[in-house]
């Protein structure tokens, strides 16, 4: 519950920060002069610094600004979000070319959507009956298969130890921990994926403390730190969750080199263009992740829901590339394939950084 309260607090903070970034803060007038810079006012906004001329001093105004900052963005959300989903290329190109008054800027949108994603993830979960261990096989049959697989892994592990193959030993130790957890639940007809995941987690902690499992092979000091961290798995999970949204901004600089490589020979396209593209693209992918998380939590299995969710990343990237960079079908297609692979690599690097800083910190 405390994690959910903290996630809600982070969402509120993100909403207020995003609102502050997206427009000037409200001010008030004193004797016809701007309260911020002293310039004489000629309208509802200061012509010098852009601050509002009037401020409502009431408790109701505080709640209005709170709700307004999170949900309305001066009505820009109702223009920006449909464009982000259905016409991302035009949205990106329009913002780059200076048509910005009607849209939420990329950075505030990125902040709000990413924090909303982690807020939703704090409540999302996979239903216990979503995945059954072993499918439709009989419990006795599943148990026999799991015991045989565990015996095979033990035989391979003994051979690897005899040969002194350390990388293979590390790999097989991890596989044995997972298979042991699966074998434990194989005979239970009501066992679910969450049961197995919990058992694997406990097994990893126990095996690492007993010296039966090497967490990070080839690096004794890092392996020792990892074992120490796993003494308190709940703390590790909390640190990972905290680091995840704090370090989410790293996805942008990690994406820029890939975008630069896709366009470096074309004149008139700079890193600024790529940064705007990346911010809007990641914002959409975060919204899509929110949708998928809610779908899993609700137990939706209809292909009419999941097929668009699975295809959306590639289709959205293709449409955004065409509109943002004025590409033809061929140019947008090969860049979509290239950037899809690059996105997987980038996400892997991000997760690696997250684990190193979260677990080993």
Q: Say if residue 252 is in the same domain as residue 315.
A: yes
pLDDT the model gives residue 150 = 77
- Within a domain: 245: yes
Total Cβ atoms within 10 A of residue 182: 20
- Within a domain: 35: no
Q: Are 317 and 92 in contact (CB under 8 A)?
A: no
Q: Are 269 and 263 in contact (CB under 8 A)?
A: yes
Q: Say if residue 112 is in the same domain as residue 241.
A: yes
H/E stretch holding 321: helix 303-325
User: Which of 231, 262, 279 delimits the end of a domain?
Assistant: 231
pLDDT the model gives residue 35 = 75
- pLDDT, one tens digit per residue, over 155-211 is 888 888 888 887 777 677 767 776 776 666 665 555 555 555 555 566 666 666 555
Q: Say if residue 215 is in the same domain as residue 352.
A: no
User: Which of 231, 252, 277 delimits the end of a domain?
Assistant: 231
Q: Say if residue 87 is in the same domain as residue 119.
A: yes
Q: Are 177 and 200 in contact (CB under 8 A)?
A: yes
Grouping H, G, I as helix, E, B as strand and the rest as coil, residue 30 is strand
User: Which of 187, 210, 231 delimits the end of a domain?
Assistant: 231
Q: Say if residue 349 is in the same domain as residue 296.
A: yes
Q: Say if residue 314 is in the same domain as residue 242.
A: yes
- pLDDT, one tens digit per residue, over 245-286 is 788 889 999 999 999 999 999 988 999 999 999 999 999 999
Note down the domain range covering 359. 76-127+232-361
Q: Say if residue 105 is in the same domain as residue 203.
A: no
Q: Say if residue 252 is in the same domain as residue 351.
A: yes
Q: Say if residue 251 is in the same domain as residue 316.
A: yes
What is the mean pLDDT, run by run of 10 residues, along the chain of 361 residues?
Answer: 52 53 47 77 80 67 63 70 94 91 88 86 65 54 74 84 78 72 61 56 60 58 64 69 82 94 92 95 94 86 88 96 95 96 94 76 65
Total domains present in the chain: 2
- Within a domain: 237: yes
pLDDT the model gives residue 26 = 44
Q: Say if residue 94 is in the same domain as residue 156.
A: no
Q: Say if residue 109 is in the same domain as residue 236.
A: yes
């Amino acid at each position: 519950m405390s994690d959910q309260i903290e996630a809600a607090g982070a969402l509120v903070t993100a909403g207020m920060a995003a609102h502050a970034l997206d427009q000037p803060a409200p001010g008030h007038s004193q004797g016809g002069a701007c309260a911020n810079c002293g310039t004489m006012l000629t309208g509802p906004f200061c012509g010098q610094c852009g601050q509002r001329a009037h401020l409502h001093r009431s408790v109701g105004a505080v709640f209005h600004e709170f709700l307004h900052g999170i949900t309305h963005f001066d009505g820009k959300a109702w223009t920006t979000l449909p464009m982000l989903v259905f016409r991302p290329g035009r949205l990106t190109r329009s913002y780059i070319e200076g048509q910005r008054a009607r849209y939420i800027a990329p950075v505030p949108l990125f902040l709000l959507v990413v924090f909303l994603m982690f807020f939703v993830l704090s409540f999302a979960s996979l239903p216990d009956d979503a995945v059954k261990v072993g499918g439709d096989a009989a419990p006795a049959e599943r148990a026999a298969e799991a015991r045989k697989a565990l015996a095979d892994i033990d035989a391979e592990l003994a051979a690897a130890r005899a040969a002194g193959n350390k990388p293979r030993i590390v790999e097989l130790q991890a596989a044995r921990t997972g298979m042991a957890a699966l074998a434990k639940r194989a005979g239970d007809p009501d066992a679910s994926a969450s049961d197995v995941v919990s058992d694997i987690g406990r097994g990893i902690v126990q095996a690492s403390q007993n010296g039966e499992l090497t967490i990070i092979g080839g690096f004794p000091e890092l392996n020792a730190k990892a074992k120490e961290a796993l003494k308190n798995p709940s703390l590790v999970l909390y640190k990972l969750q905290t680091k995840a949204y704090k370090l989410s901004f790293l996805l942008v600089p990690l994406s820029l080199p890939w975008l630069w490589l896709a366009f470096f020979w074309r004149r008139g396209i700079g890193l600024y263009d790529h940064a705007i593209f990346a911010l809007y693209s990641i914002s959409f992918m975060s919204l899509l992740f929110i949708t998928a998380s809610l779908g899993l939590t609700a137990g939706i299995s209809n292909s009419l829901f999941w097929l668009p969710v699975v295809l959306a990343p590639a289709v959205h990237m293709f449409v955004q590339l065409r509109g943002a960079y004025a590409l033809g079908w061929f140019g947008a297609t090969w860049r979509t394939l290239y950037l899809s692979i690059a996105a997987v690599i980038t996400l892997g690097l991000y997760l690696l950084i997250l684990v190193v800083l979260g677990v080993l910190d």
